[in-house]
Amino acid sequence: MIDLAGKRVLVIEDEWLIAADLARALAAAGARLIGPVGDLAGGLRRAEEPLDAAVLDVNLGGTRSFPVADRLAGRGIPFVFITGYDGWALPDHHRHAPRITKPFAPGRAVEAIGALLGGHRA
């Protein structure tokens, strides 16, 4: 299991079931969950908090989460996108960001966050 003990991880996901699964998986790895948040405005507010990493759904009810990704990148906070879109749908400046394709197992997001933070297995 990936050890995210004490890491503050923002989750932005508009689908309740996916958000709940992500929250459980991250909490089980020891993360301090910020959110989940299901809309862009809430995501932008939470992106200003002290964070270690984030999981961003690309499509938030028809609105893209790219402004949150821009803010996180500007603050040097690593993030992973979760999406049903191919990589070409991401802006050029975010194509380097890790991307998990839906559908996915929530543990995959935990692994991705662990890799971003140089995490280790407990």
Q: What is the pLDDT along the chain (122 residues), one digit of tens a residue?
A: 789 999 999 999 999 999 999 999 999 999 999 999 999 999 999 999 999 999 999 999 999 999 999 999 999 999 999 988 777 788 999 988 999 998 889 889 999 999 999 864 44
CB 14, CB 60: distance < 8 Å = yes
In CATH terms, is domain 8-116 a member of 3.40.710.10?
no
Residue 27, Cβ density class (10 Å: 0-12 exposed, 13-18 middle, ≥19 buried): middle
Question: How far is Cα 45 from Cα 72, in angstroms, rounded to an integer?
Answer: 11
For the entire predicted model, the pTM comes to: 0.92
Strand partners, 100: 82
